[in-house]
Amino acid sequence: MTSEPPSTGPDTPASTEWPLPEGSSLSLWLQCVRANPLLDYRSVETLPTEADVVIIGSGISGALVAFELLKSANPPSSIMMLEARELCSGATGRNAGHCKPDQWRGFRKYKSVFGEQQALKILANEQETWERLVAFIREEKVDCDLWVGDTLDVAVTTEVAEDMASVWESYKAAGGKVDHVKYVADKEEAVKISRLKSAVSLWAWNASTLYPWKLVAYVIQKTLDLGLHLQTWTPATSVTASRKSGQWEVKTERGTITTPMVVHATNAYASALLPEFKGIIRPTPHMCDKVVPPRSFSGSHALQNSYGVLCSGGSLYSINPRTTSDGIVLFGGSNPNQGELFKYVDEDPERRSTDDSLSNFAPVTQAVIELTQKDFIGWGTKTAPGQGYEYSWSGIIGRSADGVPYVGAVPGKPGQWIIGGHNGHGMARIFTAAPGLVKLIQGGIWSDTGLPECFEVTAERLARLHAQSNFNIPFV
């Protein structure tokens, strides 16, 4: 755990000299908001000793749970949000900025784990989540570089194209909604649309890219206006039963907060406070690359679509070209050289679970270089000063043992709740999962959430996953 910077008031930075701990690289999103006072905001100088609700984690999950609670008809009188580091410095603040609802690709895998009807519900939920996110940003006029347009899933080998076509047909046969998805099976047309030499086929549908940190900052500011108490640089070190009946003690290095309700919104780090999720939510490192495109892919020639480039072995590149802002192209996903990253971090177990300080990891960036220079038509191999593969950063994904998130009450711990295990796909899940959790917190039943039943946390689900000898992480 980190130690605390000096205590400060709401209008004072946590410290001008306090160093970021090892394990804190800066993503593009964090690089570009260094003067934002929310980064190290503390609502009050002295940590309160009591709160109606304590939310641990300040990413999109924690922010939306707080927002939904405070704008409800019966809001808590006090909510304390604890963030171990800077605001939104976990997975939400380190992703590649893609909200891409899966329309069909995960159908076969979800069906094999949860059955056909749940698979259909999971995919329908992703579409609903994306629609809610876009509607919120537009209605609230959030300045977060929102782009809405066609995302492309491009199969770049015949084997992958045939396999994906099989999933596509299975999804349609099951009654999956496909009228809003364009399928291009002709290789020549796929190459023309995607600008990728190796394209064999593609699918296109609406998705979004955005600046996720700015979206969270907007939601947090709204919740602060509604009464949220935010404490950055305040890691929770334990949650234990209080001597007071029905209460929990959330311990930090700045003091202890007694509360009847704790919401765990730490995603990959959930098992640090909830040991029953050890092995059920597995911290897994990933890299994102920031690329300044050459002139041949700038201006009127800039990429106009976001991408999922589907490669052999289940690897893929997620591509966000930031067409509504600076045109910098971000590469995320699980590219063919992510395995080299796993080998590296496995040399030290702490790297796998906590270390997001990695940057410029050469093998992952090399795969991005090979895709752009060898496959994107006209990209070229020469880069002028100011162009090229200038930076990459790491983040820790919360891998779910069965491929879907955990939403609901923590079994055996009345008053504790969890939303996590987003499997690197939280942007397409949380705008429905967080409101759903709030319905449960306020006395609703699962059917009130509108979420797929397989998302619910139950003792049976956890026991079943703990009993499995292998860890299933098939979804990216």
Q: Are strands 262-264 and 53-56 parallel, antiparallel or unpaired?
A: parallel
- Which residue do the tokens 């995603």 mark? 267
Question: Which numeric CATH code is attached to 28-94+213-280+402-467?
Answer: 3.50.50.60
pLDDT at 11: 38
H or E element in which residue 440 lies: helix 430-441
Residue 212 exposure: Cα atoms within 13 Å on the Cβ side: 31
pLDDT of residue 137: 98
User: Would you state the pLDDT for residue 469?
Assistant: 57
Structure tokens at 158: 């015949």
Ranges of each domain in the chain: 28-94+213-280+402-467, 149-206+282-398
Rg, Å, the chain Cα set: 22
The answer to whether the CB of 133 falls within 8 A of the CB of 325 is no
Phi, psi (degrees; rounded to nearest 5) at 32:
-95, 10
Give me the pLDDT at residue 88, please.
98
Determine the pLDDT at residue 460: 97
Residue 246 and residue 438: Cα distance in Å, rounded? 19
Task: Determine whether domain 149-206+282-398 maps to CATH 3.90.550.10.
Answer: no
Mean pLDDT per block of 10 residues along the chain (476 residues) reads 36 36 80 98 96 98 98 97 97 96 97 98 98 98 98 98 98 96 98 98 98 98 98 97 96 97 97 95 93 97 98 96 97 94 82 80 96 97 92 94 97 98 95 98 98 98 87 46
Which residues, other chains included, contact 295 with Cβ-Cβ below 8 Å and sequence gap of 6+? Answer: 301, 384, 387
Calculated CA dihedral for residues 368, 205, 136, 288, nearest 10 degrees: -10
Identify the CA nearest to 129 among candidates 183, 208, 202: 208
Sequence-ordered strand ranges (E) for 106-260:
147-155, 182-184, 201-209, 229-231, 236-241, 248-252, 255-259
Of 278, 261, 258, 267, nearest to 414 by C-alpha is 261
109-132: burial string, b at 16+ Cβ within 10 Å, e else: bbbebbebebbbbbbbbbbbbbee
Phi/psi of residue 334, each to 5°? Answer: -125, 80
pLDDT at 199: 98
What is the pLDDT at residue 3?
32
Task: Check: CB of residue 37 under 8 Å from CB of residue 13.
Answer: yes
Tell me how far apart the alpha carbons of residues 62 and 48 are, in angstroms, rounded to a whole number.
19
